[in-house]
Amino acid sequence: MDATISATIPQRKIISNGMIAMVFFIAAEAMFFAGLISAYIVNRSVADAMPVIQQPRLPIEITAINSLILILSFVTLFLFSKKYKTESKSFFLLYITIIFGAVFIGVQGIEWVNLLHFGFSTSSSIYGAFFYTIIGAHAVHVIAGLIILLYLSLSLKKDKSLESVKNKIAICSLYWYFVVSVWPILYVLVYLT
């Protein structure tokens, strides 16, 4: 009598479905920003003067400092993700990342209010329309990133599975890294050129 025993060995996924979804989402968002940037470049090349001479100058110095704050949030989140593997209660760096992101949005908001007060709006020029569209789209992404990071901080306190926690950190961090990485391109393109 021959008896065959078959056993199924569970396969561990190399990349989670959440990570694959985030990669596709970021690819779509990269195309979105590429479209905005290319439209800006094309319109800038045919415009007489961008920015318009009568318009107020953009606050380059304050935005440069604000950019450093956003880049520091990249570093603090990276350090959090590395430190969490050894010290599961190292939430301080995650909270600092969230604070840096909130400060970035706050400074951007103050900048917008001041520019609007000086008459720089979407209807004042094509440059104003592109400025608010591109920088506004980035601000929406930063706010979404802050919501994701807040979700991460709440879910890490509840989740006990180390593999699930590492996966959540990787997925949420990937989005934040994308948002931070787009900003220097936008800063140089819109503020400095």
Task: Dump pLDDT digits (tens) for 14-29.
Answer: 888 999 999 999 999 9
CA of residue 138 relative to chain centroid, distance: 7
Residues 31-35, mean pLDDT to the nearest whole number:
97
Cα 52 from Cα 121, distance rounded (Å): 12
Give 182-193 pLDDT, tens digit per residue. 999 999 999 988
Average pLDDT over residues 125-135: 90
Q: Which pLDDT does position 97 carry in this prediction?
A: 97
46-52's contacts with Cβ under 8 Å and 24+ in sequence apart are: 47/126, 47/127, 50/125, 50/126, 50/127, 51/125, 51/127, 52/124, 52/125, 52/127, 52/128
Who has greater pLDDT, 176 or 11?
A: 176
pLDDT at 64 over 90: yes
Per-residue confidence band for 57, with pLDDT thresholds at 50, 70 and 90: confident
pLDDT of residue 121: 87
pLDDT digits (tens, 9 = 90+) for 69-106: 999 999 999 999 988 866 666 789 999 999 999 999 99
Per-residue pLDDT at 62: 94
CATH class of 18-192: mainly alpha
| Sequence spans of domains, the chain | 18-192
Report the candidate in 44, 25, 73, 35 with the shortest Cα–Cα distance to residue 181.
73
Long-range CB pairs of 83-92 (<8 Å, 24+ gap) are 84/156, 84/165, 84/166, 84/169, 85/166, 88/162, 88/165, 91/153, 91/156
Q: Which residues contact 128 (CB under 8 A, 6 or more apart)?
A: 52, 55, 120, 121, 122
Q: Is the pLDDT of residue 5 over 70?
A: no
